[in-house]
Structures are given as structure tokens and as C-alpha cells.
Chain A
Amino acid sequence: QSVLTQPPSVSAAPGQKVTISCSGSSSNIGNNYVSWYQQLPGTAPKLLIYDNNKRPSGIPDRFSGSKSGTSATLGITGLQTGDEADYYCGTWDSSLSAGHVVFGGGTKLTVL
């Protein structure tokens, strides 16, 4: 059971918009920055969003992030078949004496 909760799957048609939610608590999302990762089939995760809503160089502005309270959301507009992947949220958790990174369980995006 992951510390952060994501829907197992989402789907939408090409060209449409989709959002993926990530729910946590005050010990993680509520007091720390959220990052998002894309994992294409058979490849390593890739950073999509950091500090809640910042995009690394090379990530298109079709990808966006937001955070409110103890939840965060990844948005993807103009869906393409190449966006089919697993998406993970991550953040720092300070619930124990030694903080650590926690991830959501992942959301599989299907572009119909």
C-alpha cells in the first residue's frame, strides 16, 4: 500500500485532456514539494514536473502540475498516443525521524 494515493488507471482520446490525482497527508504533500514522473513501457522513469508545477527543460507545456493542501494533480493536454505510460507522483515524507521519499502507486494512462 503506497503512502500516496493515485487512481490505478485513466483514459482519454487523442487530443483530449486528462488529469491524474495524487493524495497524501500533512507529513508529505501538505508540507513538501511534489514531483511527477513518466515511465514509458520498458524504460526508466523520467522527471516531468518538480516543485509542484515546474517543468524541466525539454518537457512540453502540455504537461502541468498543481498542488492544493494535501493533494496534487498532473494535467496533460493534447493527448498523444506516445503519452501512454505509467505516471507516478513523489514527495518527501517527514513522518519519521529520518525523512524519506515516497511515491504514489502509479497511474496507467491509456490513450484510446
Chain B
Amino acid sequence: DQQVKQNSPSLSVQEGRISILNCDYTNSMFDYFLWYKKYPAEGPTFLISISSIKDKNEDGRFTVFLNKSAKHLSLHIVPSQPGDSAVYFCAASDTGTASKLTFGTGTRLQVTL
């Protein structure tokens, strides 16, 4: 039962262009969403989050959009840089579960020169 889905295992984008990573969820109780970035042999690093009361949150080059009716969120990276190459995980939580995060399977982003 995959409650958080990232249907694109990989994505390749040219440096300077926009990267769009997508995530879908099925559990309507989820009300807080996060994106984590992971480099090989390291733990996931927090990138950006959004509460279900918002539909957009920005932090520098990173913007997360939330469409609650479609149970869909996306991460936009503009402009993409080679250092952004990593695996990106979407995660979700239900406020009542003390931030127990449910993760997607990840999307590997490759930013090419």
C-alpha cells in the first residue's frame, strides 16, 4: 500500500532550466508535506515543506506547490544547478502522528551541463 507515490524514477534536466518533480498521495489525512534530498552514502536532508493550509511555498530556487483536491504536489527548482543532482524524496505526515513521515520511492535528478 504505497500511500506516497513518485512515479518518475529519474529525471534529466539541463543546467539553468527548470526541474519539476512530482508526487501523489492517497491518504486524505496527510496535512504536512516535505521534500528531502539525498546524496549517496548520506542521510536525507530537509529541503522544503508545505502545510495543507497553503498551496505554495517558496525558498530561494525551490518552490513546492500543493493541489489538495488532486492529492498532488510538485517541487520546482529554478534554475537547476549541477549540485542539485541527487535523489529527491517526497514525504507526508498526518498531524496526529507526531511527524511520522511516509516517504515516496524517490526521483533521481541529474542536472547536466
Q: Do A and B form a real pair? A: no
Interface residues of A (CB under 8 A from B): none
Interface residues of B (CB under 8 A from A): none
